[in-house]
Chain A
């Protein structure tokens, strides 16, 4: 965390199961390998378990099996301990602290960091990626548009200088133009910071354009995995699982 720029880390998940209490298991043994500095997309219909996968990785939901970030186990730890190990989770629905100013939102993102200079540098970097946030730094976050709030959510996650960034449906409720812009910035962040990214999406088209690898999740199991180009080429198969063409 003391390093100015954290670099990405490799994620290795094996036999991951998770759920919400007895009788409502959602994930039925997932295997997933994401190389350091890679963008990986997880696609799938509603209720497939995409959000639960991210929640299990960030410790919000208890997961079983193994999930290692550069060899360090992530499972069985409280969310703040996972965050300390460099995992930033942008939750579904953005999780904006509406009453706080934009800048205070970002500062909460750096909550576990104690290096003042590093936090200031991280703020500058976030404002570099999202100039609109710099313009609105003193406004309350609730006054931002949906797209700006999603930018704020991603910026807030960057404040951790994460090695692994988990994005839950960044396109939700946003116009195609804004979504495209967001994905462009995610790609830039991935390139600049070398952050490993796992993005969960229903918008398969954009996600496949951005990610190098993709997995299709259905009913808690991966039914299709491969390079993005390959999955896109295999449109028929994807359509069968996603219910729409790519």
Chain B
């Protein structure tokens, strides 16, 4: 058991720091592959039916949330069973701003980001005193306590009925349908978020964050303040969840307390572990899980979707203990070795 967890740790970490791997493919081939992937992502909203486009848009939203959760769980070694709450604050905040405020919808995103960043800081400070299961419990309570709280103030939140907002229309010059436009907006947000996080992880701050996760005492004598980075990781993480929440309100056009139950928070964490901890691509794989697990589970067993999704999680963890991202890495490494041999 111990040895698997150790290898898991090593494997998950490799993506944070590009290791010296023999590149079998020439650089131009890599660019061609990348361009093909980009073309597929850009063409998707014209290929799929509107409902599928809507689902893929939500995958992008969840990818941003999981990217944030990954900063906290994967890269800083803390845990949150309540990230759905930050997601909900971003979603509700945006809905309230769009209902009451006379501001362009795009402006709700930086506001939601700022609010959840501050909220994350506020949670990050007490979290410094808690570790592992204790932190899990406190964050879990946050997820449990939010939906009743939302119902408690109906004049602001619409109570159990929730809030409907007018969805952003696609600008006329684009000639796009609404779902296609929202897909591209979400894609832009996700791309910016991924680039920012990737650069962050390669910066001085990113190295310090990883050093604290790896060995707090050693990082401390080098002048890195563990408390500073752990709190900051909480704030960044909450902020990305809030950004995801804001975009989800644009995409869905509706918020209700029952969309943000504790099950969402648990699905987010499960999605992250299945996608791959401490891996940027893991957030994308995990987003597909969060989006589709309930419907897949429903298909497997209409009577007990919970059991089906639980078994699904167990199955994935048995086959790919380092998540889908780890599995993909292993498979590409094997393919590389084979190519190199020929």
Contacts and interface: CB of A to CB of B under 8 A. Distances in A.
A200 B225 CA distance: 25
Contacts of A97: 210-211, 214-215, 218-219
Contacts of A84: 223
A98 B222 contact: no
Q: Tell which of B10, B19, B204, B222 has the most Cβ of chain A within 10 Å.
A: B222
Q: Chain A interface residue count: which class?
A: 20 to 34
B17 A104 contact: yes
Given A99-B210, A142-B10, A83 B215 contact: no
A223 to B, nearest CB: 28
A160 interface: yes
Contacts of A101: 17, 19
Contact of B221 (A89, A94, A100, A142): A89
Given A100-B214, A140-B17, A58 B221 contact: yes
A80 B225 contact: yes
Contacts of B210: 97, 99-100, 104
B33 interface: no
Q: Tell which of A59, A91, A94 has the most Cβ of chain B within 10 Å.
A: A91
Q: Chain B interface residue count: which class?
A: 20 to 34
Contacts of A108: 207-208, 211, 219, 222, 224
A143 B14 CA distance: 11
A111 B204 contact: yes
Main secondary structure of the interface of B (DSSP, over half): helix
Interface in A73-106: 78-80, 82-84, 88-89, 91, 94-101, 104
Interface in B215-237: 215, 217-225
B204 to A, nearest CB: 7
B17 A99 contact: yes
B339 interface: no
B214 A109 contact: no
Nearest to B14: A140
A139 interface: yes
A98 B10 contact: yes
A138 B19 contact: yes
B9 interface: yes
B16 interface: yes
Interface in B174-216: 204, 207-208, 210-211, 213-215
Given A139-B20, A140-B10, A140-B13, A111 B215 contact: no
A83 B217 CA distance: 13
Interface of A: 58-60, 78-80, 82-84, 88-89, 91, 94-101, 104, 107-109, 111-112, 138-140, 142-143, 156, 160
Interface of B: 9-10, 12-14, 16-20, 204, 207-208, 210-211, 213-215, 217-225, 278
18 contacts: A58-B221, A59-B221, A80-B224, A84-B223, A88-B221, A95-B218, A95-B221, A96-B218, A97-B215, A99-B9, A99-B17, A100-B211, A104-B17, A107-B207, A108-B207, A108-B222, A111-B222, A140-B19
